[in-house]
Amino acid sequence: MTYRVIQWATGNVGKLSIQAIARHPELELVGVWVHDEAKVGRDAGEIAGIAPLGVSATHDVEALLALDADCVMYCPLPWQVDEMCRILESRKNIVTTCGYHHPYIQFPEATAELEGACQRGGVSLHSSGSNPGGVSERFPLTFSGWCSRIDKLVITEFGDCRHYEAPGMIFDVMLFGKTEAEARAGFMLEILKRCFYESLDMVAAGLGVAIDRYGFEHQVALAREPITTAAGVIETGMVAAQRFRYWGEVDGGPHLETRQVWVMDELPFTRFDRPWESERLDGWKIHIEGDPSFDVNIDFPAHYTGRQRTRDGMMATAAHCVNAIPATCRAAPGIKTYLDLPMITARAGRRSV
Ligand SMILES: NC(=O)c1ccc[n+]([C@@H]2O[C@H](COP(=O)([O-])OP(=O)(O)OC[C@H]3O[C@@H](n4cnc5c(N)ncnc54)[C@H](OP(=O)(O)O)[C@@H]3O)[C@@H](O)[C@H]2O)c1
């Protein structure tokens, strides 16, 4: 069976998603939505930096909703719940990097809207990515299967963000380039918090428990001088490094925690206004204390440049979703998390693409 897929938005993740769809033997790209008028009419393969695929990008939502397709790979920024509902009601499944990976507790209103639209359309919604959507929930749960007891589970993402060419993500979502006061109090901080509490909720659900108390800590460092990044300049005195800790306590059960250490400098961090320690610049670590206890480290090849590492992290984000499209299309209608879907693997793929 071949599933017909529409790519929605062609930013950093969306472009790599087109590459992943083109390589996947069970998927066929049949449409592309772009926000940027300058991309309208361009071939999807050309936008994605590969050979032409014979599919032109459009800004015409109605035309895409009317198209015969099985699934939309939804990657815009900002995303819109009402737009997602319209796609679902047009009888197209959605796989997305835009959140709602386990939304039931943190986003009950969006859950009700999206679940209703899934039922009306007879289709499913699955959200994933690298983090959230992978390293904060799916992979620790997989490794938890080695344990007879879990006391503590800490996931850490180390992100060198200098090469992430996405101003909206860097300055609006990830809170870089803001004053310390803005970064500590913004609406987006609340969204980030609930998004990573979602990850903890999914781990708890996978372990058969529920979180009794949530906790949060946010440390920042400011730029001592202007720092040039792919997304723009971080001006002197603005946020240039952040350490987020989100945790959940289960009474009589484990401590669950996910951390993000995002920086805009290289080790040993000479351009920040205060001492800043970090054991590494990028990659991920899963730390489990229990019986047994162990660490899982995920690294890129040592010789990779920062730019290549950023690109590969984005491909992990895109591919994790694209590889989930067949299972999402086959699932019974509704919001589907990794706890509902079968194991997601790569397909060996079309290696020539
Ligand atoms: N879970 C994870 O691991 C993970 C990791 C990274 C990103 N994400 C999420 O994935 C999504 C895409 O991230 P990205 O890195 O690809 O971001 P990006 O490079 O900024 O791309 C976002 C795209 O959205 C479209 N867009 C721009 N303005 C828009 C508007 N006003 N309304 C609707 N669409 C607009 C544009 O598409 P066109 O260029 O086609 O016009 C733009 O390229 C984001 O929602 C982000 O939060 C998740």
Q: What is the mean pLDDT of residues 79-94?
A: 98
Nearest residue (CA) to ligand 1, atom 24: 76
> Which of 43, 75, 77, 284 has most ligand 1 atoms within 8 Å of its beta carbon, as the pocket-test mutant?
77
Nearest residue (CA) to ligand 1, atom 2: 129
Q: How far is the CA of 98 from the centre of ligand 1 (A)?
A: 8
Tell me if the pTM is above 0.75: yes
Q: Does domain 3-128+324-335 have CATH number 3.40.350.10?
A: no
The tens digit of pLDDT for each residue in 240-284 reads 999 999 999 999 999 999 999 999 999 999 999 999 999 999 999
Provide the residue ranges of all domains of the chain, joining segments of one domain with +.
Answer: 3-128+324-335, 138-307
247-277 per-residue burial string, b: 16 or more CB within 10 A, e: under 16: bbbbeebbebbbbbbbbbbeeebebbbeebe
Say whether pLDDT at 78 is over 90: yes
- Pairing type for strands 239-249 and 255-263 reads antiparallel
Q: How far apart are alpha carbons 304 and 103 in whole angstroms?
A: 35
Say whether pLDDT at 339 is over 90: yes
Query: What's the chain's average pLDDT?
Result: 97
Q: Is 127 in the pocket of ligand 1 (CB under 6 A)?
A: no
Q: Does domain 138-307 have CATH number 2.60.40?
A: no
Q: pLDDT: is 186 or 54 the higher one? A: 54
Q: Is 133 in the pocket of ligand 1 (CB under 6 A)?
A: yes
Say whether pLDDT at 351 is over 80: no
Ligand 1: atom nearest CA of 165 is 19
Q: How far is the CA of 179 from the centre of ligand 1 (A)?
A: 24
Nearest residue (CA) to ligand 1, atom 31: 78
Say whether pLDDT at 65 is over 80: yes
DSSP, collapsed to helix, strand or coil, labels residue 28 as: strand
Say whether pLDDT at 349 is over 80: no
Q: How far is the CA of 13 from the centre of ligand 1 (A)?
A: 7
Both tokens assigned to 130: 């690298």
Ligand 1: atom nearest CA of 130 is 3
| Degrees, nearest 5: CA angle 249-153-281 | 120
Burial of 213 (0-12, 13-18, 19+ CB in 10 A): exposed
Q: What is the mean pLDDT of residues 159-177?
A: 96
Q: How far apart are alpha carbons 125 and 69 in whole angstroms?
A: 15
Both tokens assigned to 179: 């004053």
Q: Is 129 in the pocket of ligand 1 (CB under 6 A)?
A: yes
Question: The dihedral of CA 196, 98, 190, 213: what is its sign?
Answer: negative
Q: How far apart are alpha carbons 306 and 160 in whole angstroms?
A: 8
- CA distances for 245 relative to 155, 192, 248, 297, angstroms: 10, 11, 10, 18
The tens digit of pLDDT for each residue in 107-145 reads 999 999 999 999 999 999 999 999 999 999 999 999 999
The tens digit of pLDDT for each residue in 277-326 reads 999 999 999 999 999 999 999 999 999 999 999 999 999 999 999 999 99
Nearest residue (CA) to ligand 1, atom 15: 12
Ligand 1: atom nearest CA of 320 is 3
Say whether pLDDT at 350 is over 90: no
The tens digit of pLDDT for each residue in 88-105 reads 999 999 999 999 999 999
Q: How far apart are alpha carbons 338 and 139 in whole angstroms?
A: 10
Give the pLDDT score at 71.
Answer: 99
Say whether pLDDT at 219 is over 80: yes
Give the pLDDT score at 353.
Answer: 75
Q: How far apart are alpha carbons 256 and 295 in whole angstroms?
A: 15
Count CB atoms within 10 A of the CB of residue 233.
Answer: 12
Q: How far is the CA of 99 from the centre of ligand 1 (A)?
A: 12
Residues listed for the chain: 353
Say whether pLDDT at 352 is over 80: no
DSSP string spanning 76-141?
-SS--HHHHHHHHHTT-EEEESSS-SS-TTT-HHHHHHHHHHHHHHT-EEEE--STTTTTTTHHHH
